[in-house]
Amino acid sequence: MSEPEPQTRPEQTFFTDPALDRVMGVVMALATEVWVMKDRQAALERALAARGLDLADLLDAEPGDADRRAMAAEREAFVAHLMDNMLGRQVSLGAS
């Protein structure tokens, strides 16, 4: 006796074109990342100001080669995570 085939669930869709749903997933992931960064940056600026530290010149300075390489690696990982929503259907299936 063979096992029955698993039922496939339909992809969650909010727009007539599922690709738009995936793009919205990317937009929402990016919006989430932006908000977290804004929130943390504001907290850091408040903490520094409370301690009398003005680091504006330091923050505006060009990074060195080692920092630039580290930032490039982090950026690549961020973009890969952001684009996960565009790579296939499984991401947009929702919770099981």
Provide the pLDDT for residue 3: 65
| Overall domain count for the chain | 1
How many angstroms separate the CA atoms of 90 and 10, rounded? 10
33 assigned to some structural domain: yes
66 assigned to some structural domain: yes
Provide the pLDDT for residue 2: 64
Burial 12-21 (b: 16+ CB within 10 A, else e): eeeeeeeeeb
Q: Residue 83 — very low, low, confident or very high, per pLDDT cuts 50/70/90?
A: confident
46 assigned to some structural domain: yes
39 assigned to some structural domain: yes
**Would you give the DSSP letter of residue 55?**
-
